């Protein structure tokens, strides 16, 4: 059910994947995805992809959408058009982190990914 966090704000130090999130009424619609990067250290990158599933268990290896590679804190918004994929009932976020240069070789990112139907105002978690 949208609006919803596909990945709540998290600190990650290695590659990973979020939970399967059911689309329910947002199935076959255009979604606005907001990637917020809240913490980062120098000389590292974050790759985020969105994968779809018809059953919530088996996800396609080819992503439905890939965010451009990120190196900085910020808020990044993209549209995911699912109108050509009405069979997709669940989404999963996957990420890869990479660090180079000097210092601690382990990456460190703080980020979240929020999904909402395009054109709808998100009110979840807003005090009323």
CA–CA gap between residue 44 and residue 97 (Å, rounded): 7
Mean pLDDT on 55-78: 96
What's the whole-number average pLDDT of the chain?
A: 91
pLDDT band at 102 (very low <50, low <70, confident <90, very high): confident
Distance set, CA 123 to CA 35, 67, 86, 127 (Å): 17, 24, 25, 8
Q: Is position 93 within any domain?
A: yes
Q: Which domain holds residue 52?
A: 4-115
User: Is the N-terminal amide bond of 3 cis, ω within 30° of 0?
Assistant: yes
Q: Is position 127 within any domain?
A: no
Q: Is the pLDDT of residue 126 over 50?
A: no
Q: Is the pLDDT of residue 76 over 80?
A: yes
Mean pLDDT on 89-110: 92
In the numeric block, which tokens belong to residue 107? 């990456």
Q: What pLDDT, on a 0 to 100 scale, did the predictor assign at position 88?
A: 97
Number of domains in the chain: 1
* Residue 14 CB burial class (10 angstroms; 0-12, 13-18, ≥19): exposed
Q: What pLDDT, on a 0 to 100 scale, did the predictor assign at position 90?
A: 97
Structure-token match 């959408």, residue found: 65
CATH number at residue 105: 2.60.120.1110
Q: What pLDDT, on a 0 to 100 scale, did the predictor assign at position 81?
A: 97
Structure-token match 């994929």, residue found: 85
pTM here is 0.88
Mean pLDDT on 102-118: 91
Q: Is position 64 within any domain?
A: yes
If you count DSSP H runs as helices and E runs as strands, how many of each does the chain have, helices first?
0, 9
């Amino acid at each position: 059910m949208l609006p919803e966090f596909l990945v709540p704000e998290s600190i990650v130090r290695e590659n990973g994947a979020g939970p399967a999130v059911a689309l329910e009424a947002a199935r076959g619609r255009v979604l606005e995805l907001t990637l917020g990067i809240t913490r980062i250290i120098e000389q590292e990158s974050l790759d985020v992809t969105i994968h779809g599933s018809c059953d919530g268990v088996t996800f396609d290896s080819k992503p439905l959408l890939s965010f451009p590679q990120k190196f900085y804190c910020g808020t990044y918004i993209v549209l995911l058009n699912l109108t050509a994929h009405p069979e997709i009932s669940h989404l999963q976020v996957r990420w890869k982190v990479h660090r180079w240069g000097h210092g601690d070789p382990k990456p460190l990112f703080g980020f979240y990914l929020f999904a909402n139907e395009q054109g709808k105002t998100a009110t979840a978690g807003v005090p009323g």
